Chains A and B, each alone.
Chain A
Amino acid sequence: MNHPTKPRERSASRGILALSQGPRKSVKTALSARSIAAEVRDPEMPMLTLEDLGVLRDVRQSGRDVVVTITPTYSGCPAMATMRDDLVHRLGDAGYAARVEIALSPAWSTDWITERGREALRAHGVSAPGPAPRSGGPIPLTLMPTARAVTCPQCGSQRTELTSEYGATACKALYRCTDCLEPFEHVKEI
């Protein structure tokens, strides 16, 4: 499996799908389709809308036809099919013929979770992610438990310990509060 091609320089402008908002004349109706799409919820973390999760990348509308662009959180995210079906059905119920497309670039980051989303996570006992690591140069190996300032969403204590970097969904780590002793989940930074 040798490289058949030479890698080229990173290009900031390279993106598979642009995040355009569509032509100006359709803004009014596009907002309507967008507002419907924005309210569809994540099937695995239903306290979050797709917009709050940051996976809703674009809603383009032409008459009754709507193209929604979403991006996967993780490559193997099993919720994509449900998100797609929910978008098609919700928009269909509002009279739109919707199609869902995928954007792989730029890759989703937990930095895209909105402040409203972070509050919803905390309100449901899930710790919100800190800032995602910035990549510049080779990615450092971390042999000690990931250093995070995680606050217990149950009692507010900052004395928490990592149980596992992997949890019930791809995007969450398991933590435990050493004060109230409750286990909780933390959306891990990517």
Chain B
Amino acid sequence: MSHATPDPNDEHGSVYDGLLAHDAPGDTSQWAFGTDFEDPLAGVDTTVPADLDPAELAAYCLALGDDALVLSHRLSEWCSNAPDLEEDIALSNIALDLLGQARLLLARAAAADPAVVPVLPEGSPVPVEDALAFFREAMDFRNVRLVEVANGDFAQTIARLLLFATVRLAAFERLAGHSDPVLAAIAAKGVKELTYHRDYAGRWFLTLARGTEESRRRLLAGLATIWLLYDELRTAYDAGPDVDVVLDQVLAVSGVERPEVAPMAGRGHTEALSRMLAEMQVVARAHPRGLW
């Protein structure tokens, strides 16, 4: 017999009550580092349609998921560090949306092709999407470099978010019609979130460009820095002219030219990803059986 979870509307209740009241007999502790304790695709039919290759679908979902996961972590680094409280909250909310997209996409990849999930010791409490997030090495991440480099200042963060949200939103609008119904559903949901992200970044881009001499100087410098990695982002998302239309609109009203910088050479990852992952993964790796 379970005991009732306190009503959160009641003065004695809180949002954490659900985490404390477990009715299974014996040990009811849970994996300590995840965002949730159940399969985010519980009850969802994850059968891969016959016309799709499961390994290719998994690789594609991993790439989309890793982009969201890595940029989410970068944005979350602004938490308590943003220029003011509203932007602190906004960047954290955007990070949360991307973390949710990452979780669904990594879970979808694992369901499509379980071979992508790192093998953990028997009896490990780590769910598959967390195994992918916390127990892969940098070289196994499939994200583009644009999301992994350090934040820079607020202006550079805004420039990156504008490029990323513009390209990803256009791609997700297409992916909402993907023949995998799970990916299509994740994309359709993501479209609503990315629309707010793009508008947020676009407004700040315009504000900084038309603000003070210093804000404009910082924005132009940040844009030039991140532009080195824009080509790779475009290619990864198969970006078309619809992306250019939106971006040129923002640049035009902001009085900003496209930077004339050659794309950064090479592929794979920068050193920044290893450093970021070291911080992101260290606690989970130190306590792979962590329960609470």
CB <8 Å contact, A82 and B15: yes
Alpha-carbon distance between A7 and B52 when the two chains are bound, in angstroms: 11
Interface size on A, residues (CB 8 A): 68
CB <8 Å contact, A81 and B43: no
Which of the listed residues A17, A85, A188 has the most CB atoms from chain B within 10 Å of its own CB? A85
The residue of chain A having its C-beta at the shortest distance from the C-beta of B189 within the complex is A107
Q: Mark A36-73, 1 if CB is under 8 A from B, else 0.
A: 00000101101100000000000000000001010010
Alpha-carbon distance between A178 and B80 when the two chains are bound, in angstroms: 28
Q: Mark B72-102, 1 if CB is under 8 A from A, else 0.
A: 0000000000000011011011101111110
A31 at the interface (CB under 8 A from B): no
Known contacts A100-B42, A166-B90; A78/B23 CB under 8 A:
no
Alpha-carbon distance between A80 and B2 when the two chains are bound, in angstroms: 20
Alpha-carbon distance between A69 and B43 when the two chains are bound, in angstroms: 8
Residues of B within 8 A of A85 (CB): 5, 18-19, 21
CB <8 Å contact, A74 and B94: no
List 16 A-B pairs, Cβ < 8 Å.
Answer: A3-B60, A16-B44, A44-B15, A75-B101, A81-B18, A85-B21, A89-B21, A100-B38, A104-B185, A141-B249, A141-B250, A143-B203, A143-B206, A166-B90, A167-B93, A170-B93
Q: Ordered nearest first, which 3 A-B pairs have the shortest CB separation?
A: A101-B43, A76-B100, A75-B100
Chain A residues packing against B (C-beta within 8 Å): 1-10, 14, 16-17, 41, 43-44, 46-47, 67, 69, 72, 74-86, 88-90, 92-93, 99-108, 135, 138-139, 141-146, 163-168, 170, 174, 188, 190
